[in-house]
Structure 1
């Protein structure tokens, strides 16, 4: 950050909140955290200006090594003319922390050891008692009641020492429940989708971009594939084919996934994409929409192009970080996420015809798994539910 940007951040940030920020090259992330320092008042101001210095902790996290590589501390004081300015020290003067500030920062570092830093995608994360979203308040109350009982500590120690559940598990479950709720809100409310796009600085005129961003930062939602192979993201917006002679129209897939030993292609459309036409077809079926047919055709083209590119590039394929993609590509599997349960509207007879037509299409689409956002949400809810057991 520049000095001006840093001053704006110190002025506008919420105390005791964690702020993730991605590197421009995608290789890692910064995490910024600010506390107010007790016992050290600043000079050259009077109310209504702040009465405490602020300490900014910055962590540098690298995706490749999955570790924190640098920790930086800065103290800021408030000047009535200049606003928040860094309190720089001379070389022979040590950087000192009050006991209060040390305890706050030490608690944060201990918590971060148990967080999946690569997956945190909220623009601001509260780090304080009772502030973790996604946990039912009544459930939290029962847990606290249990812990103050005479045997509470012994019960917790037995659970953790048994290896059944760890503090890392507890944090991940809370985070995933919060993200599941975000998924539901975006699915049910277009306004919430726009609000998410604005918070994450994603183009609001292309809803698919917001969904791509959300799924990128929550790859656990893809989780286990439909055939129970674990899927993880290798590359978003991957160029899976060659451009034409004019250098245009190179096929791009929304996500290139890894299924342990082989690659998988994922194309993401919108929940509101129509799956059916306006009228019934013959033999009790329903006409499929042009959007759905064109999406299937697009995925088939991506599949064919990626097969050729993977086989012809004997030197290997690399992601944007320059890492070799070691997974093979043999008749690659494809996943198309499109539409939602809202597409199956109408009378009972019409809904039944639509469900039957859609299922027949899926069963006869070899190597393309077509699923709706509603189904993807249900699978994510199952993953969270199973993790919480």
Structure 2
């Protein structure tokens, strides 16, 4: 959690981590971080425990043929945990991605940024192609092509978009309600993907982790 917090709040630390990884894109840095900390998704997404597929990285190919072969990549392909497991999809964008455009669309009305609307379209298209190309029952193979005895199902999968930070709406004297309401109304009326900001993901994981430690 300390590293998560520093990545979110300390620009110099974030840049140093980029340098350590050979200066990849910021999205790749978050991809690497979440790859090592998949429990954050498990604790943070709708409080339904999710985890990566056995012997699979969270970034997977999900259309074209199947995630056991090749096709379109999704930032994170997860499964729900239970007696029966289903696939769910996560698209990871940057923590500093702007959620709204810089100028009002109309008085008291702010439109979402091109980056946010594009990310929503991107994961919606990925899910649609996956439903078209993947069977409802998927038997998982490991990296050598051997069956893992793991089966996951695909019907109408949940999708999540991790993007931006609610601090965008904080001013010196409080919350810009006009901006915040414009964003909140947009995401409440977007049924899929569920849009989660980085600060929300951090607070969800921190809350559940703190409660686990204090038991």
TM-score, normalization by structure 1: 0.48
Partner of residue 331 from structure 1, selected from 134, 153, 156: 156
Partner of residue 132 from structure 2, selected from 308, 331, 336: 308
| Inter-CA distance 318–282: structure 2 relative to 1 (3 Å threshold) | farther
Separation in structure 1 between the aligned mates of residue 62 and residue 43 of structure 2, nearest angstrom: 23
| Inter-CA distance 325–363: structure 2 relative to 1 (3 Å threshold) | farther
Report what 1:187 is aligned to.
8
| Inter-CA distance 374–315: structure 2 relative to 1 (3 Å threshold) | closer
Q: In the alignment, is residue 320 of structure 1 matched against residue 123 of structure 2?
A: no
| Inter-CA distance 225–376: structure 2 relative to 1 (3 Å threshold) | closer
Ranges in structure 1 where 5+ consecutive residues have no aligned partner: 1-179, 244-248
Report what 1:297 is aligned to.
121
Tell me the CA shift for residue 229 of structure 1: 1.4
Q: In the alignment, is residue 274 of structure 1 matched against residue 98 of structure 2?
A: yes
Judge conservation of contact 1:270–1:338 (CA < 8 Å) in 2: yes
Separation in structure 2 between the aligned mates of residue 325 and residue 364 of structure 1, nearest angstrom: 35
CA deviation string 1:243-290 (max 9, x = no partner): 8xxxxx942111111112211101111111111111122363212100
Judge conservation of contact 2:44–2:205 (CA < 8 Å) in 1: no
Report what 1:210 is aligned to.
29
Judge conservation of contact 2:138–2:151 (CA < 8 Å) in 1: no
Equivalent runs, 1:157-172 vs 2, <5 Å:
none
Judge conservation of contact 1:242–1:309 (CA < 8 Å) in 2: yes
Tell me the SS of whatever aligns to 1:279. coil
CA deviation string 1:343-364 (max 9, x = no partner): 2245769721222122112211
Tell me the CA shift for residue 203 of structure 1: 3.9
Equivalent runs, 1:364-379 vs 2, <5 Å:
364-379=189-204
Report what 1:231 is aligned to.
50
| Inter-CA distance 321–188: structure 2 relative to 1 (3 Å threshold) | farther
Structure having greater relative contact order (Cα 8 Å, sep ≥ 6): 2
| Inter-CA distance 325–239: structure 2 relative to 1 (3 Å threshold) | farther
Judge conservation of contact 1:203–1:210 (CA < 8 Å) in 2: no
Q: Which has the larger radius of gyration?
A: 1
Report what 1:356 is aligned to.
181
Tell me the SS of whatever aligns to 1:240. strand
Tell me the CA shift for residue 325 of structure 1: 4.9
Partner of residue 241 from structure 1, selected from 40, 60, 63: 63
Tell me the CA shift for residue 218 of structure 1: 0.9
Report what 1:92 is aligned to.
none
| Residue correspondences, number | 202
* RMSD of aligned alpha carbons: 2.5
Partner of residue 72 from structure 2, selected from 243, 251, 254: 251
Judge conservation of contact 1:319–1:325 (CA < 8 Å) in 2: no
Ranges in structure 2 where 5+ consecutive residues have no aligned partner: none
